[in-house]
Amino acid sequence: MRIFISRALRLKSFIDNRECGVTTAELADKIVAACEKCGCDYCKQIVDLKDHLVKKSQWIFGGDGWAYDIGFGGLDHVLASGEDVNVLVLDTEVYSNTGGQSSKATPAGAVAKFAASGKKVRKKDLGMIAKSYGYVYVAQVAMGASQAQYFKAIKEAEAYPGPSLVICYAPCINHGIKVGMGRSQHEEAKAVECGYWHLWRFNPAEEEAGQNGFHLDSKEPDWSKFQDFIMGEVRYNSLLKTFPAEAKELFAKTEQFAKLRYEGYKKLSEGK
């Protein structure tokens, strides 16, 4: 009788938490062991299906060319579905795999193929587009700037019972980082420090609970370092040599657009 009651409690706990990967992993071995002892037809069926007891973690990985641009329709369809799937985007701000062409993720002022005189329009804010659904978990991260914020976002995305989108700043060889790709983590930290990239999270579960689900994890940027940061990358400073007059105007716009994004995020974090 005790074995039956214990097994029944485990099964009830499993059913109540079947969408939680951690709980199902903790209970799976205990349920299988109890069912093997019992040996009835129902328990044999559970043992046969033991590989399906732990909730599977679903992740899709892609670059910004796919997510922001040519594959955006598909990504949008997946996020809008409401299904429990996680998407991680490596944002290099350019079509890295196909030769360094400009994409919708490329910021104003950056030089790339098809934008030899610097991109003229601002970067698409993919995170805010996904947030507008209201039921998609969204985070913008940079591991080199904050590993704690990065891992928190990954854990929250995994735990959220719906679609999740995590956008990661990813320095790329096409950036022409003067200090070298071996310092890419440091480059991420500098990008956040000067306000070029911002760290934030939006959790719909918190909003449903009556809280402000938007968290701006970046500190107030040191805007005095912004121009020095972009001058440390060939994709920006090369424009000074080829189109010096346009470069100054575009670099000012690059900083202006970054400030506008930050102020928008700040208002959301304050519940405005």
Cα separation values, 61 from 39, 99, 165, 258, Å: 42, 20, 10, 26
Single pTM value for the model: 0.88
Alpha-carbon gap, residue 62 to 89, rounded angstroms? 5
Q: Which residues pair with 89 in a beta bridge?
A: 62, 167
| Domains located in the chain, CATH noted | 2-52 (no CATH), 59-269 (3.40.50.970)
Taking the C-alpha atoms of residue 14 and residue 43, their distance in angstroms, rounded to an integer, is 15
In this structure, what DSSP letter does residue 125 have? -
Q: Report whether 93 contacts 110 (CB < 8 A).
A: yes
Return the pLDDT at 84.
Answer: 93
What is the amino acid identity at position 140?
Answer: Q
Residue 107's SS3 state is: coil
| Alpha carbons 144 and 111: distance in angstroms, whole number | 24
Residue 232 near residue 240, CB atoms below 8 Å: no
Which DSSP state fits 219? Answer: P
Torsion of CA 25, 27, 29, 33, to 10 degrees: -170
pLDDT the model gives residue 97: 80
User: Amino acid letter at 197?
Assistant: W
Over the chain (272 residues), the average pLDDT of each successive run of 10 is 56 79 84 82 85 88 95 96 96 89 94 89 97 98 98 96 97 94 96 98 96 97 98 95 92 97 97 86
Q: Are 262 and 195 in contact (CB under 8 A)?
A: yes
Provide the phi-psi class of 59: left if phi over 0, else alpha when psi is between -120 and 50, else beta. beta
